[in-house]
Amino acid sequence: MSALNTDLYQLTMAAGYFAAGKTKDVATFELSVRRLPEQRNFLVAAGLQQAVEYLFDLKFRKDEVDYLRSLPHFENAPAEFFDFLMDLRFTGDLFAVPEGTPIFGNEPICIVRAPLLEAQLVETYLLSTFAFQTMIASKAARCVLAAKGRPIVEFGSRRAHSPGAGVLAGRAAYVAGCAGTSNTEAGMRFEIPVFGTAAHSWTMAFPSEEEAFRALKRLLGESTVFLLDTYDTIEAARLAIQLGPPLWGVRLDSGDLAALSREVRRMLDEAGLREAKIFATNDLNEHRVAELIRCPSCFDAFGVGTALATSSDAPTLSAVYKMVELKRGGETQYTAKFSDEKSTLPGAKQIYRYPDHDVVALYSECNADFQGEPLIRPVISQGEMVTPLPSLEKTQAHAVSSIAALPRELHSLDEAPAYPVEISPRLLEMAQELRDKHQLVRSE
Amino acid sequence: MSALNTDLYQLTMAAGYFAAGKTKDVATFELSVRRLPEQRNFLVAAGLQQAVEYLFDLKFRKDEVDYLRSLPHFENAPAEFFDFLMDLRFTGDLFAVPEGTPIFGNEPICIVRAPLLEAQLVETYLLSTFAFQTMIASKAARCVLAAKGRPIVEFGSRRAHSPGAGVLAGRAAYVAGCAGTSNTEAGMRFEIPVFGTAAHSWTMAFPSEEEAFRALKRLLGESTVFLLDTYDTIEAARLAIQLGPPLWGVRLDSGDLAALSREVRRMLDEAGLREAKIFATNDLNEHRVAELIRCPSCFDAFGVGTALATSSDAPTLSAVYKMVELKRGGETQYTAKFSDEKSTLPGAKQIYRYPDHDVVALYSECNADFQGEPLIRPVISQGEMVTPLPSLEKTQAHAVSSIAALPRELHSLDEAPAYPVEISPRLLEMAQELRDKHQLVRSE
């Protein structure tokens, strides 16, 4: 990761803040998703681990600073600014909802409180990190719900938005309850179970399907999964049966999947291979998975690729990172944006979760005034970890139980009535005060 | 980049090929997009540079091989396989259309000819590299066409599918004719012009908009762009005029952009600031850009973010990587897949481009038999570069002129009649022969 992986304006603003003597100002920014995509009844927060790693690794290399110096935008920047950049580390605070927590529109996923320059600089990286993994985890949660207990494996690396995104998609899918991923780097880096056996090209690389299947069986033993549709699915099923156990099962990747699964199931059962499983792939998504289960079909597990690794029906989240407080010279000012479509609420916030609704309040309001569970926790304090992040396995368990605890209508794949997110009276009041004050200033 | 950034089945197949003594078999794979998304009349090939870098860097680390050894899938793999992996490098050939070339469905973007194991292993990374950048370049080309000569800047890093994808999106957008990117890492790594000045938070970080604007002007001089909509666009325009030159211009990011641009233009002109430009942002895409130009409005340049960096209206391409030839023991076999929805044509191919159509032929057919320009060129031969890749600037020039040379109806933002891609008689014949032979084998 490079400290230059940010929008240029974060760096020009940094130079400007430095020049304006604002290195001691402390800003608070909130990262949230403005509104849920129509196709999502809830989001699942993810990406915190990569955000934390980024904040700890943040450091400019000399060649990066030299590059900036060469740009016309920095012609008037003070020479000391470049030394300042060389020494820059993240020294602020990070608050966040734990990964795997369901969240809703306008609820902060994380809060950054840091010297203005630092807090501003990290915006772009934090946005793409949280928004991408949250988007994938949210899609994965729907696939997992659709499969009603059958495992979903994330298979989408090849269609992810770049090879690096594929690795992170595997992670985010696992956070939300997928059984694992086909991405081997994700498996190693994040200790996620990995899945995969052979492609059509395997079958084509041998003089006959039989030789291909025999070679696979020798290698994989009881992990063997025969891919049946390279030439003719039913003939390949016969061959699989003839070769017999050990065998995990078979995979269907084209044709009328439900009908083929019933036929192949019947053939396997008749041959006494009741333990052999049937795995479905082929451009699946949560709706196809639900449909295949309803059909009925005989699938034991599903591989979901493109639709999951790209969240193809909702491939963006309206994630924003907005300044909510600014402390200069000991005085805290609450900030907000009042333009028509994009207004924001001032002040750092806390989310309180009740069984059937959330309340968003000021972080400074007293916890004891709320019965709900506060979701936002301190993660980094003055550049130091507060508590280590949980293992990914624990995060997944947290996600699965938190999703299960949501009102049942949100589990539907169809659009459910919006989950109620209330704003605390104190927060509403402060927003109004600020708006009045701002209008006062403008009318002067 | 990690050699493990691939689907697990590529590695299990590698172990299987090794165990089956297939290390000398040489396979040819083709990477293509099955069909264009409805919203695209052509694609723009991109990603070759990253593909080449990957192939040259491909190398397993010891901890990566140890990880594989620890997986149940490799329990039966021969011990020598792991030594083989440690020594593995890409020793094959790569053929590809130059980056920036418009291409269509089922036309190979690249061809890999290499020992079967190597050719198979690289599938996942090559697919996500080519498919992602091609997808973004194709979207960018539409934005550039819509802007009718006005510059488009790629601003979407924050919404890209992970921070790494943002850097590559900046590159791909530039390939297809964008003026530059806001991503500073992309600027440094790929020598792309970078753009950006200040956000709303900049204005909010100062006691007044005037102080914020003054500080920006001190820093940026004639690169200054005032963002007008933090509080009130027209008042901010008055302030910008009052502060006067030097000034690049102003940016509008919310409200009725066209109406505001006309009003702001009138104000700037009346104040004698005819040189000051107006820049539009706010969830733009090619359609919004076209609409703003038609309106009419007074925009001189556009920043396109989310829609461009995620290709949000068509966020996936049906990219596939299929074995088309296999050479074992000196004998070349042509391979294809015959299942209903996903059939492929055998043999390595060449694309010949004519003014109004393409012909896809076998690579082995004689160039002299075709008048059209052959698009696929050798890039890597036996693990060595054939010729260096062109600079990104030259690639952009190639893209712009090649897109301009396409039949005019393809330049429409609406769906145009499909561009004709013919298959050579020899290729059709070979596909039929292979299909007959396969059915013969099956009916035996």
- CB of A165 less than 8 A from some CB of B: yes
Is the confidence at residue A342, as pLDDT, over 70? no
Q: What is the dihedral of CA B354, B359, B364, B366, to 10 degrees?
A: -40
Average per-residue pLDDT for chain A: 95
Closest residue to A188, CB basis, from B4, B120, B335: B4
CATH fold of A142-310: TIM Barrel (3.20.20)
pLDDT value at residue A272: 97
Measured between alpha carbons, how far is residue B375 from residues A345, B102, B388 in Å?
A: 55, 10, 17
Estimate to the nearest angstrom the gap between the alpha carbon of B388 and the chain centroid: 20
For A19, nearest residue in chain B (alpha carbons): B219
Q: How far apart are CA B61 and CA B255, in angstroms?
A: 53
Strand A358-362 to A349-353 pairing? antiparallel
Q: How far apart are CA B200 and CA A387, in angstroms?
A: 33
pLDDT value at residue B443: 46
Q: How far apart are CA A195 and CA A153, in angstroms?
A: 7
Distance from CA of A13 to the nearest CA of B (A): 6
Per-residue tokens: A48 = 């915190």
- CB of B160 less than 8 A from some CB of A: yes
CB half-sphere exposure, A215, CA atoms < 13 A: 24
pLDDT value at residue B444: 43
pLDDT value at residue B437: 84
Residues of B in contact with A219 (CB under 8 A): 12, 15-16, 19, 76-77
Q: What are phi and psi of B178, to 5 degrees?
A: -65, 155
Residues of B in contact with A319 (CB under 8 A): 158-159
Under 8 Å between Cβ of B187 and A40: no
pLDDT in tens, A107-141: 999 999 999 999 999 999 999 999 999 999 999 99
One-letter amino acid of B427: L
Under 8 Å between Cβ of A257 and A292: yes
Specify the 3-state DSSP secondary structure of B206.
coil
pLDDT in tens, B2-28: 999 999 999 999 999 999 999 999 999
Closest residue to A17, CB basis, from B11, B205, B338: B205
User: Is the Cβ pair B184, A316 closer than 8 Å?
Assistant: no
Is the confidence at residue A443, as pLDDT, over 50? no
Number of H helices, E strands in chain B: 16, 19
One-letter amino acid of B55: L
In sequence order, the 6+-apart residues with CB closer than 8 A to the CB of B243 are B210, B213, B214, B217
Residues of A in contact with B319 (CB under 8 A): 158-159
Eight-class DSSP state of A194: B
3-class secondary structure for A114-175? EEHHHHHHCHHHHHHHHHHHHHHHHHHHHHHHHCCCCCEEECCHHHCCCHHHHHHHHHHHHH
As a whole number of angstroms, the longest Cα–Cα distance in chain B is 88
Per-residue tokens: A101 = 């927590």
Tallying the residues shown for chain B, one arrives at 444
**Ordered strands of the B180-181 beta sheet:** B180-181, B152-154, B301-304, B277-280, B249-252, B225-227
- What angle, 0 to 180 degrees and rounded to 10, lies between the N-to-C axes of helices B233-243 and B257-270? 30
pLDDT in tens, A255-264: 999 999 999 9
Query: Which neighbouring-strand residues pair with B408?
Result: none
Residues of B in contact with A129 (CB under 8 A): 162-163
Q: Where, residue-wise, is CATH 3.20.140.10 in chain B?
A: 8-135+317-443
pLDDT in tens, A168-195: 999 999 999 999 999 999 999 999 999 9
CATH fold of B8-135+317-443: nicotinate phosphoribosyltransferase (3.20.140)
CATH superfamily of A8-135+314-443: nicotinate phosphoribosyltransferase (3.20.140.10)
- What angle, 0 to 180 degrees and rounded to 10, lies between the N-to-C axes of helices B79-87 and B8-19? 120
- Residue B236, H or E segment: helix B233-243
Q: What residue has token string 């293509």?
A: B32
As a whole number of angstroms, the longest Cα–Cα distance in chain A is 88
DSSP H stretches of helix in B274-404: 286-294, 306-310, 392-404
Q: Where, residue-wise, is CATH 3.20.20.70 in chain A?
A: 142-310
For B188, nearest residue in chain A (alpha carbons): A67
Is the confidence at residue A442, as pLDDT, over 60? no
Under 8 Å between Cβ of B194 and B183: yes
In sequence order, the 6+-apart residues with CB closer than 8 A to the CB of B130 are B31, B45, B46, B47, B48, B51, B109, B110, B319
Interface test with A, best of B1, B8, B254 (most A CBs within 10 A): B8
pLDDT in tens, A298-329: 999 999 999 999 999 999 999 999 999 999 98
Q: Where, residue-wise, is CATH 3.20.140.10 in chain A?
A: 8-135+314-443
In sequence order, the 6+-apart residues with CB closer than 8 A to the CB of A192 are A170, A171, A174, A180, A181, A186, A392
Residues of A in contact with B234 (CB under 8 A): none
Question: pTM higher than 0.95, yes or no?
Answer: yes
Query: Which neighbouring-strand residues pair with A267?
Result: none
Estimate to the nearest angstrom the gap between the alpha carbon of A338 and the chain centroid: 29
CATH of domain B136-310: 3.20.20.70
- CB of A197 less than 8 A from some CB of B: yes
Q: Where, residue-wise, is CATH 3.20.20.70 in chain B?
A: 136-310
Return the exposure string of B237-247: e unless at least 16 CB atoms fall within 10 Å of the residue's CB, then b: bebbbebeeeb
Specify the 3-state DSSP secondary structure of B359.
strand
Residues of A in contact with B221 (CB under 8 A): 75-76
Tallying the residues shown for chain A, one arrives at 444
- CB of A234 less than 8 A from some CB of B: no
Strand A93-96 to A377-381 pairing? antiparallel
CB half-sphere exposure, A101, CA atoms < 13 A: 22
How many other C-beta atoms can be found within 10 angstroms of the C-beta atom of residue A189? Answer: 17
Q: How far apart are CA A360 and CA A108, in angstroms?
A: 9
Under 8 Å between Cβ of A117 and A80: no
| Ordered per-residue pLDDT tens for chain B, 444 residues | 899 999 999 999 999 999 999 999 999 999 999 999 999 999 999 999 999 999 999 999 999 999 999 999 999 999 999 999 999 999 999 999 999 999 999 999 999 999 999 999 999 999 999 999 999 999 999 999 999 999 999 999 999 999 999 999 999 999 999 999 999 999 999 999 999 999 998 998 999 999 999 999 999 999 999 999 988 999 999 999 999 999 999 999 999 999 999 999 999 999 999 999 999 999 999 999 999 999 999 999 999 999 999 999 999 999 999 999 999 988 999 988 766 566 789 999 999 999 999 999 999 998 889 999 999 999 999 999 998 999 999 999 999 999 999 999 999 999 999 999 999 999 999 999 988 887 665 544
Q: How far apart are CA A36 and CA B406, in angstroms?
A: 40
Query: Could you please report the per-residue DSSP string of B82-140?
Result: HHHHHH----SEEEEPPTT-EE-TT-EEEEEEEEHHHHHHTHHHHHHHHHHHHHHHHHH
A201: nearest Cα among B7, B35, B86, B380: B7
Q: What are phi and psi of B434, to 5 degrees?
A: -70, -40
Residues of A in contact with B310 (CB under 8 A): 161, 315-316
B44: nearest Cα among B415, B419, B400: B400
pLDDT value at residue A204: 87
Eight-class DSSP state of B389: P
In sequence order, the 6+-apart residues with CB closer than 8 A to the CB of B437 are none
For B29, nearest residue in chain A (alpha carbons): A201
How many other C-beta atoms can be found within 10 angstroms of the C-beta atom of residue A72? Answer: 11
Under 8 Å between Cβ of A12 and B201: no
One-letter amino acid of B200: H
Eight-class DSSP state of B400: H
Residues 370-429 (A) with a CB less than 8 A from some CB of B: none
